[in-house]
Amino acid sequence: MELENGTMVKEFILLGLTQSQNIQLLVFVLILIFYLIILPGNFLIIFTIRSDPGLTAPLYFFLGNLAFLDASYSFIVAPRMLVDFLSEKKVISYRGCITQLFFLHFLGGGEGLLLVVMAFDRYIAICRPLHYSTVMNPRACYALLLALWLGGFVHSIIQVALILHLPFCGPNQLDNFFCDVPQVIKLACTDTLVVELLMVFNSGLLTLLCFLGLLSSYAVILCHVHGSASEGKSKALSTCTTHIIIILLMFGPAIFIYTRPFRALPVDKVVSFFHTVIFPLMNPVIYTLRNQEVKSSMRRLLSRHVVC
């Protein structure tokens, strides 16, 4: 039966990451290893920050939320991808596709805004240290957290609203391993130029502006740190360097995917794979490996549980 918006397609067939059985097996093992090792590490980061009274600074508050967002983000695509590797027919319902797309952009948008908030936190801490406790008080931190969740929701709901008004009458084969805006739009039975431009503006332009803004802010911070002679100079440099690495991992693939017209390229699937599966699991781990306080707290926490 036809839906109100003219949609007749009830399900989409996912063509997957690759048709090679050997590569599929390799990717399956890779994702499984990441899940069994790194995902529990993300939850350990959250538990460590929540349980250690010494990790109450805004930096650790936002780091815990980053670990939560990344862990949640990794559940959107990877589990279904693992199941599809074992399935002969890779099918996702129309409603399931829209749901996956919504949460992908909801959490992804929220994480992008969280990185902006973390950059603001580092700017105040390093360039305006005397005002830090006043500006980044607990109420302000929770307000910023609420704002980034709301921003992610608004960003995602715009994506979904535009797609829901498109008619889908066939074909229904998505040349990808998950549902995302560029591939879904291409299956619509109408001219999608205006919708594509709106999508590029909503995702691509905002992503690019955030990326350039973040790089500019960290350039200012690094110049300030380089010109100072404080004892915490090396720690500030290490923290900022880590943030810049995460920004490149987060925004690099997103800019590649969303800032150009929706034309398929051979490397799109590989970029999407790292963007949606690998990097989200690695981000908090990279932060933790370069943060001595969190590492020390985790060691104390693990040693107490081992002794018990």
CATH number for the domain harbouring residue 140:
1.20.1070.10
Q: Which of 68, 58, 160 is nearest to 106 (CA)?
A: 160
Q: What's the confidence (pLDDT) of residue 157?
A: 94
Contacts of residue 57, Cβ cutoff 8 Å, sequence gap at least 6: none
Question: Tokens at residue 196, please?
Answer: 């594509």
Residue 5 lies in a domain: no
Identity (one letter) of the amino acid at 143?
Answer: A
Q: What DSSP designation does 41 have?
A: H
Cross-strand pairs, 14: 174
Q: 239: burial class by Cβ within 10 Å (0-12, 13-18, 19+)? A: buried
Q: Where are the alpha helices (DSSP H) in 227-267?
A: 233-258
- The pLDDT tens digits of the residues spanning 194-251 come to 888 888 888 888 888 889 989 999 888 888 887 776 656 777 777 788 888 888 888 9
Place of tokens 């609420």: 146
Supply the pTM of this predicted model. 0.88
Range of the domain at 248: 11-307
Chunked in runs of 10, what are the mean pLDDT values of the chain (308 residues)? 58 86 85 80 86 88 90 87 84 93 93 91 90 93 96 93 88 88 88 86 86 90 77 74 85 86 77 83 72 81 66
Q: Which of 16, 8, 3 is nearest to 176 (CA)?
A: 16
Q: What's the confidence (pLDDT) of residue 6?
A: 52
Residue 7 near residue 81, CB atoms below 8 Å: no
Residue 4 lies in a domain: no
Residue 171, preceding bond cis, omega within 30 degrees? yes
Q: What's the confidence (pLDDT) of residue 1?
A: 37
Q: How many CB atoms lie within 10 A of CB 202?
A: 20
* Dihedral of the alpha carbons of 264, 266, 268, 274, in degrees to the nearest 10: 170
Residue 239 lies in a domain: yes
Q: Per the structure, how many domains does the chain have?
A: 1
Q: What's the confidence (pLDDT) of residue 305?
A: 62
Alpha-carbon span 127 to 124, nearest angstrom: 5
Alpha-carbon span 143 to 150, nearest angstrom: 10
